[in-house]
Structure formats: structure tokens, C-alpha cells
A and B are shown apart, each in its own frame.
Chain A
Amino acid sequence: AQSVTQPDIHITVSEGASLELRCNYSYGATPYLFWYVQSPGQGLQLLLKYFSGDTLVQGIKGFEAEFKRSQSSFNLRKPSVHWSDAAEYFCAVANFGNEKLTFGTGTRLTIIP
């Protein structure tokens, strides 16, 4: 069965600093990978997705993620965080032909001045 691990429950970053959120997945074939963001009281907003092709994908709000098959990872990055990036971030995986999304446990991001 597919699974997603987000090893960091909570990360605190200074505004303007760089950010990397980790995601590892377990799946036999090439998965479809996603990052979603959830602000307090809000739904899940898609940041970016990877299906195939270029392993570095660009998303909204200045985020990017890199798919590394050898490490089974899909880490999310941002070069300079803004206070408005404070939220919960979820990595998710789906299989080709199976539309169910499997989510990680999430990483809560706190931004300090």
C-alpha cells in the first residue's frame, strides 16, 4: 500500500529565510505527487503537482518541489518565506489509475519576524 511520510511535525522559520519541507513516499511505480497547503479554517489548496517529465516543478506562491526517485522524496522548497506562508503543508500521493489521494500527516510551518 502506498504511504507518505512527513518527518517534521512542526518547523519554525524566520521571515525571509529559505524553507525546505520533507516528504518521502512508498510506492512501487512512479507515483503522482502533490503538495497542498491548509491555512487555519480553510480547505486544501494545491501548491504544485508532479506527474512526469522535469523532476523540478514550479508551483504557486513561489514554491517549488523536486522529485528524486532514488530517494523516494518530493521535498518542497521556497527561497524566501513570507509571514503569509504560515500554514499546514500536506504532501500527497496518488497512483496511476487509482484516484485516491494518500496524505502525509502534515508539517505545520510557523514564521517568526
Chain B
Amino acid sequence: EPEVTQTPSHQVTQMGQEVILRCVPISNHLYFYWYRQILGQKVEFLVSFYNNEISEKSEIFDDQFSVERPDGSNFTLKIRSTKLEDSAMYFCASSRDRANQPQHFGDGTRLSIL
């Protein structure tokens, strides 16, 4: 069964540094998402992306965050200047359609900010 793959599985970064999290969605999917889960908390929506533009973003997704689909397969989340509170598990998800198809999640990237 096709999977969403995320790299790296664990990223350790100094505070203030830029970080890029990478995702390869399922190949025939058209909608892409990023979520995060701070340790011990619930999974929170960050942003959705369709047709090469952001379709929705949460309050968390401020100017420090950006997303990009640089080619036909990758979907990236960039944090420009990381803060301690950005430490979390970041999940990428994709779906074939907007709402009547479920989102398939990757295994996540654990981001640790020192």
C-alpha cells in the first residue's frame, strides 16, 4: 500500500537556525497537510496546500513557517528561525480529495530545538 514518507525521522537544531522538514506524499494525492504534536498534547493542524498554494492555515502557522512543493513529489515545511517551543513531532499527510477521502499520515519527524 502506498505510504507517505517523511525525512528525517529526527532533527536536532540549535535555536534560531532554519530547518526544513521533507515529505513525499502518496503519488496520486492532490491535497497536502502539515500537523504537529507537542509532546503529551493533541495533534494540531498547521496548514493545508492544494494546487501550489496554501488553502488554509492555523494561528500557529505564522511568518516563521512556509511550505513548498518544489517538484512533483516533495512537500516541505520550513521554519526560518526556530524557537524552543517549535520542538514537536511534525506529521505530513496527504489525501486524494478534499473531504470525502481520508488523510494518510507519515511517521513524522521529531524536531528537537536546543
Contacts and interface: CB of A to CB of B under 8 A. Distances in A.
Interface of A: 32, 34, 36, 41-46, 49, 51, 90, 92, 94-106
- Complex A-B, nearest 7 residue pairs according to Cβ-Cβ distance, in ascending order: A43-B107, A44-B105, A103-B43, A43-B105, A105-B42, A100-B45, A99-B98
A45 B6 CA distance: 15
B48 interface: yes
A46 B3 CA distance: 12
B71 to A, nearest CB: 23
Contacts, number: 62
Given A95-B99, A96-B99, A101 B35 contact: yes
Interface residues of B, number: 27
A103 B36 CA distance: 11
Given A32-B100, A51-B100, A101 B45 contact: yes
Contact of A98 (B4, B99, B106, B107): B99
Nearest to A99: B98
B103 interface: yes
B107 A42 contact: yes
Interface in B29-66: 31, 33, 35, 41-45, 48, 55-56, 58
B42 A106 contact: yes
B98 A49 contact: no
B100 A44 contact: no
B75 interface: no
B104 interface: yes
B10 to A, nearest CB: 10
Nearest to B97: A99
A101 B98 CA distance: 11
B68 to A, nearest CB: 19
Contacts of A42: 107
B42 A49 contact: no
A97 B45 contact: no
A49 B102 contact: yes
Contacts of A51: 100
B42 A94 contact: no
A86 to B, nearest CB: 18
